[in-house]
Structure 1
Amino acid sequence: MKTNFIIIALLTFSGISAQQKNVKSVEKVTTRFEKSQPQDQSVPPPPISLFPAQFPGGNKLFIKKVAENMDQNYILTLKQNAKTQLILKIDQAGNVINISTFGPSETFNEEVHKAATKTTSAIVWQPSKNKAGINTIDIVKLPFTFKIKE
């Protein structure tokens, strides 16, 4: 009986000590990984834009105009709500350089892209400004959701 008790006690203590060794080895691996990653101090942080680029009248007005410029025949074919992410690159003069759309439906993305291109064709945006008040290039990300009216 005493031998069984001693064996159980030894197994319990060896299991606890083995678990503690594994925790320490995991910590050592993570600290070694963090130490091996060089930190280049000469790379400046990304620029901070205090005043992001904006459509004249606001970005909500831009989304509304994009919805108005969508092809009505395509809208009638939609059977469910659709979402996409509209990404615009605005230069220092307020001109739209690039328009991209990312969402699950490729055809919806194309229609939103066409409508956004039509909306921005002759309009100059208010450019982004940095801390010094100098116009900068900016990327504007806007969610675009089309909800079917029931």
Structure 2
Amino acid sequence: MKKILLFIFILTFGLGWAQKVKKEEKVKDKFESRQPQDMSVPPPPMVAFPAQYPNENKAFVDSVKKNLNKDALKPLGKELKTKIILKVNPEGNVVNVSTYGDNEIFNTEVKKAAEKATYNVKWEAGKNNRGEKVVDIVNLPFKYSNT
């Protein structure tokens, strides 16, 4: 009899204190549940072939380094980093240049140099998987050292 009562007690205790298992939510589901979707706005185009600077994007980074005002950068430190973000339209023109990094002076100087490097330069426009030219956003890390 003691064994039966012990078994019923353990079973009741286990069922009474069992935790409910939540359905596992994905990050996408959490984001979509918080953000209302405007169905009139089309999704951004899928870029299968990203925009390229003539002679590759490394040539663009080298051109930016060449156009930098090195005198303005001397007092800033040895290792400087930023991210150059370019918006390239379907015709291959750069319509916007932005820089994001910790040092605002460095960001401003890099933005000026990037604008000089893209002035009157046609990029190869980004293309979607059907080969149509589309607007593309190009993100390039940029490092500079004062050595």
- Are 1:23 and 2:20 matched, yes or no? yes
Match in the other structure for 1:115: 113
**Percent of residue pairs identical:** 39
Match in the other structure for 1:55: 53
Q: By how many angstroms is 1:106 displaced?
A: 0.9
Local SS of the residue matching 1:125: coil
- Are 1:127 and 2:125 matched, yes or no? yes
Question: 2 CA distance for matches of 1:148 and 1:114?
Answer: 18
> Runs of at least 4 residues of structure 1 off by over 3 A?
16-19, 36-46
Residues 89 and 135, structure 2, Cα contact 8 Å, conserved in 1: yes
Partner amino acid for 2:130?
Answer: A
**Residues 36-84 of structure 1: per-residue CA shift (max 9 Å, x gap):** 9499999865422221111001101101110110002113223231111
Q: By how many angstroms is 1:119 displaced?
A: 0.7
* TM score, norm. by length of structure 2: 0.74
Match in the other structure for 1:82: 80
Question: 1 CA distance for matches of 2:126 and 2:105?
Answer: 31
Match in the other structure for 2:69: 71
* Residue of structure 1 aligned with 2:89, choices 83, 88, 91: 91
Local SS of the residue matching 2:20: helix
Deviates more, 1:75-84 or 1:106-115: 75-84
Structure with bigger helix share is 1
Q: By how many angstroms is 1:145 displaced?
A: 1.0
- Cα RMSD of the aligned pairs, angstroms, is 3.2
Partner amino acid for 2:141?
Answer: P
Local SS of the residue matching 1:89: strand
Question: 1 CA distance for matches of 2:37 and 2:86?
Answer: 31
Partner amino acid for 2:20?
Answer: V
Deviates more, 1:39-48 or 1:129-138: 39-48
Question: 2 CA distance for matches of 1:122 and 1:141?
Answer: 20
Q: By how many angstroms is 1:147 displaced?
A: 2.3
Match in the other structure for 1:3: none
Give the number of equivalent residue pairs.
135
* TM score, norm. by length of structure 1: 0.73
